[in-house]
Amino acid sequence: MDSAHLIKMKHYSNLIDLLAAYGFSPPENPLIGVLCDAAVRHANFGNRVVEHTSDFYITAFKKKTSGTIKYGRTKYDHACGSMFFINPRQIIAINDIEPKVEGYMMYFHEDFLNGHPLHHEIRKYSFFEYETNEALHLSPKEEKIIGELFQKIETEYHNNQDEYSRDIMLSHIDSLLKYARRFYKRQFINRTILSGNTVTKFNELLNDYFEKGFVKDKGLPTVNYMAAQLNLSTRYLSDLLKQETGKTAIDLIHLYLIAEAKKSAGGRRSVSFRNSLHFGF
């Protein structure tokens, strides 16, 4: 076996070590780090930060940046203003980052949320699980809102921290995530206008899957398969379809299979298709 495969991937549970790997100064708080454009500009990224994982949620707002950030299978291109979100224990690598204008990066440990409603609510924000190039691209007005929220978080972060600091920062983080969810919905609508209904492509793909007999060799179609064919992450695909139809990807697959089963019962499908549905359920 190649020796490279025997090397254990670096995992950061300590924020000081994680920020040091990026060339950042130590954080004001061991559970949260907030970096403004000045701090990012003066960081020494070097040519590459090796692939790693961490126990931290990462939220970033970047404008006009060269270089790429690889997250999972995806390389994010930050040629224009955008946001991205990373879950704890996702594989991350940062290459050749050269911040040009402004931006913010925020790291917060899972434990920072303990005892706060956001500890449970953050799981509802599926954009932390987007793995393809589905960064949130902001309009100028949206950038202003996000920038102001980051500024409020940064101000509180650099204040002399007291018993109120954590709740105030979490309140702003909560607002930030709620706005991000709203802006993603706007992006879904824009995507539909520009690229057409995703559900139409989804159903065409399902039709093609059965017409070509793939069900015999591959079994019933999965959300993972459908997402890969549409070049989307599974969570982004489901969220996009839910915005368009009110139903998730798995819901639509099940509805399609039920409809096809009814057709086959009426003799409109072959025996092999009926058998495939039988074994699939």
The domain tally of the chain equals: 2
pLDDT digit string, tens, across residues 29-55: 999 999 987 666 555 555 455 688 999
Same domain (yes/no): 240, 175: no
**CB-CB contact of 53 with 11 (8 Å):** yes
Mean pLDDT score of the chain: 82
> Could you read off the pLDDT of 193-219 as tens digits, one per residue?
766 789 999 999 999 998 988 888 888
- 159 and 239 in a single domain? The answer is no
- pLDDT of 39 reads 63
Instruction: Judge if 22 and 86 occupy the same domain.
Output: yes
User: Is the domain of 19 the same as that of 144?
Assistant: yes
Question: Which of 86, 88, 68, 70 lies closest to 78, judged by CA?
Answer: 68
Domain that holds residue 8: 3-187
Same domain flag for 16 and 128: yes
Number of H helices, E strands in the chain: 11, 10
Helix (H) or strand (E) holding 170: helix 165-195
Which of 146, 168, 187 is where one domain is finished? 187
